[in-house]
Amino acid sequence: MSFGPGSPEIGPMNGSTDALAGERRARLAVAMSGEGIDVLVVAGNAWRSDYLRFVAGVTVVEGQAFALIEREKPARLIIESAAEAARFRVEQPGLAVSWEPSPIEAAENAIRALGAKRIALAPSAAVPYRLAMGPLGSGIARATATLDRLMLRKSPAEIRAFRRAAALADEGYAVFREAGRPNVASPPAIW
Look up the domain containing 131 and give its range: 23-174
In this structure, is residue 58 part of a structural domain?
yes
Instruction: For residues 51-56, give the mean pLDDT.
Output: 92
On the question of pLDDT at 11 being above 70, the answer is no
Residue of 37, 112, 42 whose CA lies nearest to 71: 37
In this structure, is residue 13 part of a structural domain?
no
Q: What is the mean pLDDT of the chain?
A: 85
The model's pLDDT over 89-136, given as tens digits with 9 standing for 90+, comes to 999 888 999 999 999 999 999 998 988 889 999 998 888 888 888 777
In this structure, is residue 4 part of a structural domain?
no
Distance (Å) of CA 180 to CA 187, 188, 191? 12, 13, 17
Tell me the Ramachandran region of residue 71: left when phi exceeds 0, alpha when psi lies from -120 to 50, beta otherwise: alpha
- With b for 16 or more beta-carbon neighbours within 10 A and e for fewer, the 73-98 pattern comes to eebbbbbbbeebbebbbeebeebebe
In this structure, is residue 179 part of a structural domain?
no
| Candidate from 5-9, 49-53, 70-74 with smallest mean pLDDT | 5-9
In this structure, is residue 169 part of a structural domain?
yes
Supply the CATH number for residue 93's domain: 3.40.350.10
In this structure, is residue 28 part of a structural domain?
yes
In whole angstroms, give the CA distance from residue 61 to residue 81: 9
In this structure, is residue 69 part of a structural domain?
yes
Per-residue confidence (pLDDT) for residue 21, from 0 to 100: 86
DSSP state of 187: P
In this structure, is residue 7 part of a structural domain?
no
The number of folded domains in the chain is 1
Per-residue confidence (pLDDT) for residue 185, from 0 to 100: 64
Angle between helix axes 16-35 and 156-179 (nearest 10 degrees) is 140
On the question of pLDDT at 14 being above 60, the answer is no
184 confidence band (pLDDT: 50, 70, 90)? low
